[in-house]
Structure 1
Amino acid sequence: MFFLFKKMIRSIKQFKFQFLSVVLLAMLSVIIFSGLEGVYYGMKHEFDTFNKDTNLADEWVQATYFTDEDIAKIKQTKGIEDITKRIRITASVSDDSYLILDSNDNTNISSVKVLEGKNYDSNSNNSIWIDPEYAKANKISVGDSISINYNNISVNPVVAGLIMSSERAHFVGSSDYYMPAHENYGYGYMSNDVVNAFNPQGIFNLLEIKSKNSNLKENINEILGERFIAYFNRDTLMDVSFVSNQVDNLKRVSLLFSVLFILLSLLSMRTTIKRLIDAQGADINTLKSLGFSNISLLIYYSMYGLFLSVIGTVLGFILSFPFTKAIQQSQKKIIALPEWPIMHTVNTLIVIMLIIILSVLTSMSAARKTLTGLPAEDKKDKRKHNKTSILEKIPHIWNKFGFGMKWTIRDASYHKTRIILGIISVCGSFMLLMIGFGTPDSINSLTKKSYSDEFTYSYKYTLNPAVDQRSVNELNKELDGQLIETLQARVAFAENDVYHKPITIFSDGDFINLKTVDGEPLSDGGIYITEGMANSVDAKKGDYIEVFPSFSNQTYTFKIAGIIPSSMPQSLYIKDKCFMSSGATFKPTSILSKKYIDFKDDGRISQTISVKHQEDNLIDFSHAISGVFTLMKVIAFILVIIVLYNLGVLSFLERTNEYNTFRVLGFHYDEIRKLASFESILILVFGAILGLPFGFKFLEVYCDTFSNDTIKIYPNILGVNLLIVCTTITICSLIIILLLSMRIRKIDMIKALKE
């Protein structure tokens, strides 16, 4: 067997480019799967550990205030285990910088991890603890004294430490943002004397709850009545749920691409081994004559699959670590965790073993039929060239083809596997490149659609909750604005099917220009729901829904008047007239306007958000995951080069005798080159025909992985980028055709005459 091993090494050197493609495809399969698993499983493990160490709450309830009776009723609710009361305020540090600060007397629930400075102590003197990203962005150090303002009360606490909270893993500060804006929003915790300075009455407005299978979601409105503001659990609090959603997204992507590359590597393996055996017919006959059995030769050729797949998978696993590190850097921009370990499950080993086993079986399958029979029979040419293609059975079509096209079609019918592999590789390249170019285009189109077409304001002014309606109306007149109210509500889309969803109520104005999927503007005829939310709750136009809004103890029923294909925010929309006609009260929380005013000394406004800042935030999100897009482009380029070159070489080797014969018969080199190019062009055309629709569908699936309860990304790719995709693959194909056609000048007419 040592002799056969040496022969295998020589054969691999002889067919190095074909075998290299198999190694690279196996390597890419493992790099993608293992690399992404190292990210998402490490992220999951660290987040789960962080949650356990800090005893993360299971449910959160916000209200204007809580009474002892409220807390007693909540404790009696099925599944409730423990409750902690907190005071949460949003304090301003500067004109556009805010700290969301909590009190924290009970550190048994949702405690914090101190990264620098003193341990958290609510009894400390004049102290706050803030998150490190906000401190870094605003150049704040432990020991610094900062001025914070709330309800026109200013306090100058000392930053006693930098902390990290598990309930703030994806902290963006405002529902108007998708990407963390650390220079504008931070979170932290206050000592009791700071709490008392801002809230001398000691009114608690937040409950953090440990529970197990509770039914608090269904009962909280009845308990709190019009004091209810919002309810969240681990699945709906975006600061927490984003991490698990991102883990699932990366897991789906790893499976999606790994399957594609494993399929291509197996097809390449089969084609390469088949060609190798065809080229070594004389060697096989000699080995059989020397006494080597079919079983030993079958094992020998299966060793190619074993040897190449082991090399590819081992290299892939080693190279997956720098790949993981690169992806982790992008995830760190949107998720905050104490550590970022690289961890794998047994699934990586399973994928590696699966690739190896399938490669061995594929090699054996390719060799089995050829190795059966006696040595004398193997000397016969077993290739069947008497098959008739389907087109040949249609004379009025077949006769219109030239000689070159007829020959190409006949040859393709003899080598279906090679053609299928080529079409799949081109199709796969289209899919990867369309994701690489299309995902940024989709996010950019989302930005334009949301902030240029659907919402045309320049500034969003958040109103001070204490301001009276008269002052709101005066301010709205000054700004020539449009009033909106954003609130949380318990919504029943079907019997016993309850959700807590945001509702946007808006007055007449020029800054909200949403339309339904039918192209109709929003009217007073009912409530409207965004498409992403409708899909998640299985709601449709014409359904009736029950709404129990915050700050109300009444239930209102509305008819869904239409579905809105809007990306963000995902919400229920209703005009103020329709909302108030049901008996509900409209209490604006924000004003949309084109005008800018300095609100620093205006007690009516608590904060201002500019559209420019919102657009920049989405662009930052696109940049945060741009590494993944670049990866898709590089992989697609490698894929099309490797597979098409491999197929071209195999096609050339399989046709060498035909090319020799053509040359002997008087064909010029240019004529033979044209014949050799037909197949590659056909593969390119059919691959593009399949690749464009599949690529767009793949882009749609990929965009869905980044969509969540607050945003829906619709697939989109610019015409110029689609042209770049098509041009890139076409140029790669043409370069390969050119390289292979140059080999035709090496045709050996003597060899053709001998045969």
Structure 2
Amino acid sequence: MFKILLHKNLRDFKSNFSEFFSIFILSLISILVFAGLYSASNGMEHEFNSWAQSSKMADEWVTVKGANSNDIHKLLKKKSVKDVQKQYVFNSYTGSTESKKMLQTVVINNNKISKPDIGSGKKISFQTEGVWLDQKFARSNKYHVGDYIDLDSGNGEKSFEIKGLIVSPNYIGYTGPNNNIIADHKRYGYVITNTRTMSVPKNQFNQVLVTKNKGYSGKRLEKDTRNALSTKVISLVDRNTFNNVSKFINKYNSITKMAVMFSLILFLLVLLVTQTTISRLVNNQRNIIGLFRALGLKKRSIIAHYSIYGVITTFLGGLAGAFLGMEFISKLILSKQEPLFGVPVWQARISNLTWIILGVLVLISLMASIWKIMQILKNKTAEILQKETVTNSSKNIFEYFPNFWNNLRWNWKWVLRDKSRAKSKELIGVIGIVGSLMLLIASIGIEQSLNKTNHDTYTNVFQYQTELKISPLKHQESFKNLKNKLGADDQEIEQTSLNIRTSQGEAVTSGNIISKGIYLKLPLESNRTVNLQAKNGVYVTNFAAKKLNIKTGDNVEINSAAMVNKKIVPILGIIKISSPQGIYLSKNYWEDLKQPFVPTSLYTTHNINKSIKHNKSVDQVKTIDENLNDTNKLLDSFKSIIVLLIVFSLFLSWFVLYNLGMLNFTERYREYATMRVLGFRLNEIRSVIIKDNLLTWLEGTIIGIPLGLAFLKAYVSIANSDTSEFFSYISIGGLVIAGGILFVNVVLIAWLISHHIKKVDMASALKSVD
């Protein structure tokens, strides 16, 4: 009997190939998307944690002023503190005036914490002279181990031998001194050396790295650190708030959220379709199940036979999706992330969660089969062999409005009565439309959101033509000449690192001090433009405000390494700007706070000639289009994901709607047969099917658009970081495309399904089994 049932399984798979293939594809797509995204993020997280452990990455980075050895001894006595490393950090420059490059220089006398990975060359030594250079900077500028690099740290240019090329855990997401959106490895990097190579004032340090003992929380470590170092702390950040590290953590968390959010909708649709498809396949064999019982076949044998339906196709599809996702999608995503971060190892790792989800899919398919079979088997054999009867239904809501109802054509009346009688099936169809539309809106809208945010930033917010990165203090006479050449056609900006504290917490963010000018327009949440020059206070960006729970009217404390004293400043408003995130205030207010204004950039529309480009105070010349292109490069890491989501959304919507359409056709098979017997023409029956599907599409679209927009808003927020915020947007055209794709799918599927009417066997469909 086992062989007979197995042969029957094979025949069923062959005769119902399209249905089983649909389940296979749906399972494959659902696991493919999740496994691809999650394996990439899981691999990034695993390699980060592994490197953090092997390198003894710092738990805290503390910027200090005026600290001494006694303070370090106090800190080491704290129970939560495991180890401490002090270091002196400053900026050095290399290259000619025309191609000036900046290296953040770190001078250490031990390397117990945050040990760099040596890409090539010798290990860091404190006995020999030399420097260890950022590997990405070296590759971009064609430096090799054994070469000499000229560095100017303010005391004249000196030449140093490159002892090794390194990747430091302190600089995973380093993008330059002003925390640029994307790294320019040709212009910015870092270098580590020792006190033998670069002498610093005795025992002078401005940064302390701290690791904590096991069993102590980050809050306890922070409390002990502040207690030991007291007022000498300028800023204190941990792995989740230190930009150079948190960018990487935020990135793999973003990919994880993308995997979970997108796949959540996807899994619900797949489970819905799988359950309904398996139920339909089993229900189609109701007579055969009755014959099995009449022939004396045991219930458990019948259950085992039909359980194979869902289990095999779901398992094989999911298994293929898991391996294909990790092999292709994960590697594609990692290849897009690698240029953005300095991490020595990039490798995808499949998660146990993938296998758990695959198990859930298989279990749902198994339970769907068993549940439907048990429903049938609870009846007597004679009842199983009888055709299911169509139950009478009460009036639908439209029939209570006779003027409206009587003016409807017969086919619309048929459709509305049919839907009111089969509410559960209609609900399944609407859910399928809503879910598919949400995925399409999210897939189309996220690209439009990211692109529009960047476009608005460099069109409505920044309105200059050229940005000049400058160092006015190093070349004061050259800077005066530069200002004379520009005339009044410029606006000065100072961008500095500020530590902002509230009662809710603190963060290191960008401080943007703005002089009077016309090239920067800051929009409030109400879309009014801020007049900074007339205000005594600061404005904070929306994302930074939410992070620290800041509201208009609050007071916050700001501090930096360059400030003599901390300052309490009022928050005048929340501004809606993508990047840079942080605090914005006027030059006049900054000077009222007794702080020197040292511009780091000039915005201008002046013609930039060679004399301006080669001015000694000018470090870099960037047009607004180049800045926009740099920003768009960051989106490339998301675009591969976006394209995949759009493609999978299209596939998924097709298979979901096709399966639901076939379910409706099967459930109404006897009704269509009745219509044929009563003399309805094929095109009249097709019109009923198409109208039925279009009404379901309309219901799903009405519900799906607001839900899709809400889902898009949540989905876009995943891309937010401490450096930039993105705002959800989808054009009317995008909504039309999303709805149009579903409309075409619905009509095409209805047309394909209507062709099955020709094959309706009127005699067998209508006769009863005695």
Normalised TM-score (structure 1): 0.90
* 2:553 corresponds to 1:547: no
Query: Shift in Å at residue 675 of structure 1?
Result: 1.0
Aligned to 2:216: none
User: Which of 646, 666, 676 in structure 2 is aligned with 1:653?
Assistant: 666
Aligned to 1:236: 241
User: Which of 520, 528, 550 in structure 1 is aligned with 2:528?
Assistant: 520
Distance 1:548 1:185 in 2: 25
* 2:378 corresponds to 1:367: no
Query: What SS does the aligned partner of 1:592 have?
Result: strand
Distance 2:622 2:675 in 1: 74
Query: Shift in Å at residue 562 of structure 1?
Result: 1.4
Aligned to 1:132: 135
Instruction: Flag the 1:112–1:246 CA change in 2: closer, same or farther, 3 A.
Output: same
Aligned to 2:363: 357
User: Which of 188, 192, 195 in structure 1 is aligned with 2:191?
Assistant: 188
Contact 2:34 2:259 in 1 (8 A): yes
Query: Shift in Å at residue 376 of structure 1?
Result: 1.4
User: Which of 613, 625, 640 in structure 1 is aligned with 2:653?
Assistant: 640
Instruction: Flag the 1:749–1:59 CA change in 2: closer, same or farther, 3 A.
Output: closer
Instruction: Flag the 1:372–1:77 CA change in 2: closer, same or farther, 3 A.
Output: closer
Distance 1:460 1:314 in 2: 52
Query: Shift in Å at residue 150 of structure 1?
Result: 4.0
Query: Shift in Å at residue 345 of structure 1?
Result: 3.8
2:239 counterpart letter in structure 1: R
Instruction: Flag the 1:557–1:477 CA change in 2: closer, same or farther, 3 A.
Output: farther
2:642 counterpart letter in structure 1: F
Instruction: Flag the 1:36–1:79 CA change in 2: closer, same or farther, 3 A.
Output: same
1:714 counterpart letter in structure 2: F
Aligned to 2:87: 85
CA-to-aligned-CA distance 1:492-520 (integer Å, 9 cap, x gap): 433x7444443322222112210211233
The alignment's C-alpha RMSD in Å is 3.1
* 2:518 corresponds to 1:510: yes
Contact 1:93 1:149 in 2 (8 A): no
Query: What SS does the aligned partner of 2:379 have?
Result: coil
Instruction: Flag the 1:645–1:670 CA change in 2: closer, same or farther, 3 A.
Output: same
Distance 1:730 1:590 in 2: 54
Instruction: Flag the 1:353–1:645 CA change in 2: closer, same or farther, 3 A.
Output: same
* 2:435 corresponds to 1:428: yes
User: Which of 161, 166, 170 in structure 2 is aligned with 1:167?
Assistant: 170
Contact 2:72 2:84 in 1 (8 A): no
Structure 2: gaps (5+ residues): 214-220
Distance 2:145 2:409 in 1: 81
Aligned to 2:393: 387
Identity value in percent: 27
Query: Shift in Å at residue 525 of structure 1?
Result: 4.8
Distance 1:217 1:456 in 2: 44
Distance 2:564 2:722 in 1: 26
Aligned to 2:218: none
CA-to-aligned-CA distance 1:573-598 (integer Å, 9 cap, x gap): 222334444x4324233243214465
Distance 2:174 2:497 in 1: 19
Q: For residues 708-719 of structure 1, what are the structure 2 equivalents within 5 Å?
A: 708-719=721-732
Contact 2:106 2:193 in 1 (8 A): yes
Distance 1:56 1:50 in 2: 8
Distance 1:473 1:137 in 2: 33
Distance 2:203 2:624 in 1: 36
Query: Shift in Å at residue 633 of structure 1?
Result: 0.8
Distance 1:449 1:72 in 2: 51
* 2:563 corresponds to 1:558: no
Task: Kindly tell me the number of residue pairs found equivalent between the two proteins.
Answer: 747
User: Which of 174, 178, 181 in structure 1 is aligned with 2:181?
Assistant: 178
Aligned to 1:326: 332
Distance 2:613 2:675 in 1: 86
Normalised TM-score (structure 2): 0.89
CA-to-aligned-CA distance 1:62-121 (integer Å, 9 cap, x gap): 457755566566656774431222343232335254333323331212221111233333
1:567 counterpart letter in structure 2: S
Query: Shift in Å at residue 611 of structure 1?
Result: 3.1
Distance 2:564 2:228 in 1: 11
Distance 2:477 2:121 in 1: 47
Contact 1:221 1:490 in 2 (8 A): no
* 2:455 corresponds to 1:444: no
CA-to-aligned-CA distance 1:389-435 (integer Å, 9 cap, x gap): 54255233443432212222333344444433333333233222333
CA-to-aligned-CA distance 1:173-210 (integer Å, 9 cap, x gap): 243522222233222324656535xx688964433333
Instruction: Flag the 1:465–1:70 CA change in 2: closer, same or farther, 3 A.
Output: farther
1:188 counterpart letter in structure 2: V
Aligned to 1:706: 719
Query: What SS does the aligned partner of 2:692 have?
Result: helix
Aligned to 1:112: 116
Query: Shift in Å at residue 240 of structure 1?
Result: 0.6
Query: Shift in Å at residue 600 of structure 1?
Result: 6.9
Aligned to 1:732: 745
CA-to-aligned-CA distance 1:267-302 (integer Å, 9 cap, x gap): 223222332233222212211111124444334333
User: Which of 266, 269, 279 in structure 2 is aligned with 1:274?
Assistant: 279
Query: Shift in Å at residue 538 of structure 1?
Result: 1.5
Greater displacement, 141-150 / 675-684: 141-150
Query: Shift in Å at residue 604 of structure 1?
Result: 4.0
Query: What SS does the aligned partner of 1:103 have?
Result: strand
Query: What SS does the aligned partner of 1:61 have?
Result: strand
Contact 2:326 2:350 in 1 (8 A): no
Aligned to 2:413: 406
Greater displacement, 537-546 / 461-470: 461-470
Distance 1:490 1:341 in 2: 35
CA-to-aligned-CA distance 1:5-56 (integer Å, 9 cap, x gap): 3323322222222222222222223223333232122211111111122111
